[in-house]
Amino acid sequence: MTPTFVPERFVRVMGCTAPELLSWLPRALPTATRTVAADGASCTAQFPGGTLTLSWHDLPQHRIALLVMPQLSVEFSYSGFDADARYAVQKKFDLETHRGGG
């Protein structure tokens, strides 16, 4: 769920791997021109009204009994967006990267 206020910079733990996140970006940021860093650990998404920079690193896997889930620490950094635009971009991102039911 996307909070009603999206700050310019925040960190979120996501239950995915870096290759999974990269595969989701075209759907999650469809109107942006995306540039992935050579090391595969960050992406810059250029929109007409601003820029979103994502950077990530692996965290230890989360274990619950026999269930093992990957974890990725993802930093979101918005530049040039007003609050409404940040919310719109983040809402689309969250919708397209949401996993599971409910």
Residue 38 sits in a domain of what CATH number? Answer: 3.30.1370.80
How much is the pTM?
0.92
Task: Indicate if the pLDDT at residue 27 is higher than 80.
Answer: yes
| Residue 8, amino acid | E
Q: What is the mean pLDDT of residues 7-20?
A: 96
Task: Indicate if the pLDDT at residue 99 is higher than 90.
Answer: no
Cβ atoms of residues 18 and 41 within 8 Å: yes
Token pair for 46: 């250029």
Distance CA 64, CA 68 (A): 7
Max CA separation in the chain (angstroms):
46
Tell me if 4 is assigned to some domain.
no
Q: What is the mean pLDDT of residues 16-34?
A: 97
Tell me if 14 is assigned to some domain.
yes
> What's the chain's average pLDDT?
94
Tell me if 2 is assigned to some domain.
no
User: What domain count does the chain have?
Assistant: 1
Task: Indicate if the pLDDT at residue 4 is higher than 80.
Answer: yes
Confidence at residue 101, expressed as pLDDT on a 0 to 100 scale: 54
Cβ atoms of residues 14 and 74 within 8 Å: yes
Confidence at residue 55, expressed as pLDDT on a 0 to 100 scale: 98
Domain that holds residue 76: 9-97
